[in-house]
Amino acid sequence: MVGDRLVRKNLPGTIKGGDIIHSASGKKVPPGVLDKFLELPDILYVGESHENSEAHRVQLELLRAFYSKYGSDVVIGMEMFKRPHQAALDNWIGGESDEKGLLKKTHWQKEWGFDFRLYAQLWNFARDNKIPLIALNASRDQVKEISSKGLDGLSPEQKNQLPEIDRSDPYHRLYLEKIFSLHNQDKDRFEKFYQVQCFWEDFMARSISEYLLSPAGAGKKMIVFIGNGHIIYDFGVPKRVFGRTHLPYLTVYTYDLPDAKDGPDYFDPVLSADIPLEPADFLMAVQTKKIKSKHGVLGVSLDVTPEKKVLIKKVHDGSPGAKAGLKDGDIITGLDGEVVSEVFDVTYALKYKKDDDTCLFSILRDDAPMDITVKLFSWKFHHKF
């Protein structure tokens, strides 16, 4: 049982992983019912919990289903990529860059930060089928400015770059007040948090709308991959896009089933009794699963020197790096024959390494070049207090 609170939302009393629920009727439906609904929208929003691999599996399934219906008319909008990096997505789809190049040019680690392997099947499917990827999001620097200064504190030039921002929905505000209270009790900071969320959602809404109303987007069907919080109850991105375009849409919320360890104070936004709205057109129930595949661990702390070189700041005792002879102060210049120019070059390569794999590091030690082969093995860092 998920709980008695389900009655308030007209949902089934028992929900398990794999269930598809039509929110308006409260009925569980077979996949074929949802498939028929995919014939209706011009925009299909598919939410996610960013670190749940099951949510990304559902996204891939719906992308395949959407593409099977509409083929070359499909485009993909992704919250994970920022508008200034659109050219990098175009190059990826055009076969002009590899995955590492895509991630570096979009500054993935800084701008998004979640494990890229969770998303790789989505963008690989897009490239294999020449489906355009559309960057939707604002840069982290823009968000930081609003978080720091608030909308009223921005310069006239900064304000001119903003989309029209809607802060009129009382339920949206109520929802965000609850989310904010889970992590921060400083009510004085809520207003800036709220402004950031509204900016975020109107920025993405503008990105979607401008594309679909442009000559390039005419007649296209967009599937949007986005955090669940931006589509729940429609008052985030869907409502804002509809106000700009009046295009029909469908929302699919990947519903992480509550776990016994969540406790009695666990906040489930789908079941909020304070918001008398349907959370989404469909809920797709998923178990929470972290990405399973292990990757290589080097056991060193990396930094960047003032000269923009990758420095081994600390080699941890007992680690693969220590066993192989890497030392504090070594400069990494290459890995497996590839030039290393930033920390991401190392972390990306290790994502595709496993225990017992080897890595050939080219380093500078006291300005003298040398190669060191590191054999990876299972190792866990333990803090010393």
> CA-CA distance, 316 to 298, in Å (whole number)?
9
- What is the total count of domains within the chain? 2
Confidence band, pLDDT 50/70/90 cuts, at residue 11: confident
Provide mean pLDDT across the span 236-245.
98
Residues 73 and 166 in one domain: yes
| Domain stops at, among 233, 258, 286 | 286
With respect to residue 382, please indicate whether it lies within any of the assigned structural domains.
no
The pLDDT value given to residue 383 = 52
What share of the chain in percent tops pLDDT 90? 78
Residues 107 and 160 in one domain: yes
With respect to residue 385, please indicate whether it lies within any of the assigned structural domains.
no
With respect to residue 256, please indicate whether it lies within any of the assigned structural domains.
yes
| Domain stops at, among 258, 286, 314 | 286
With respect to residue 304, please indicate whether it lies within any of the assigned structural domains.
yes
What's the predicted TM-score (pTM) here?
A: 0.89
> CA-CA distance, 157 to 163, in Å (whole number)?
13
CATH for 363: 2.30.42.10
Residues 236 and 153 in one domain: yes
Confidence band, pLDDT 50/70/90 cuts, at residue 56: very high
The answer for residues whose C-beta is within 8 angstroms of residue 179's C-beta and 6 or more apart is 229, 267, 269
Confidence band, pLDDT 50/70/90 cuts, at residue 91: very high
Residues 263 and 310 in one domain: no
Confidence band, pLDDT 50/70/90 cuts, at residue 3: very low
Provide mean pLDDT across the span 198-218.
97
| Domain stops at, among 240, 264, 286 | 286
Residues 261 and 332 in one domain: no
With respect to residue 381, please indicate whether it lies within any of the assigned structural domains.
no
- Structural domain containing residue 362: 300-375
What share of the chain in percent tops pLDDT 70? 94
Tens of pLDDT, residues 93-151 = 999 999 999 999 999 988 999 999 999 999 999 999 999 999 999 988 889 999 999 99
Identify the residue with better confidence: 217 or 295: 217
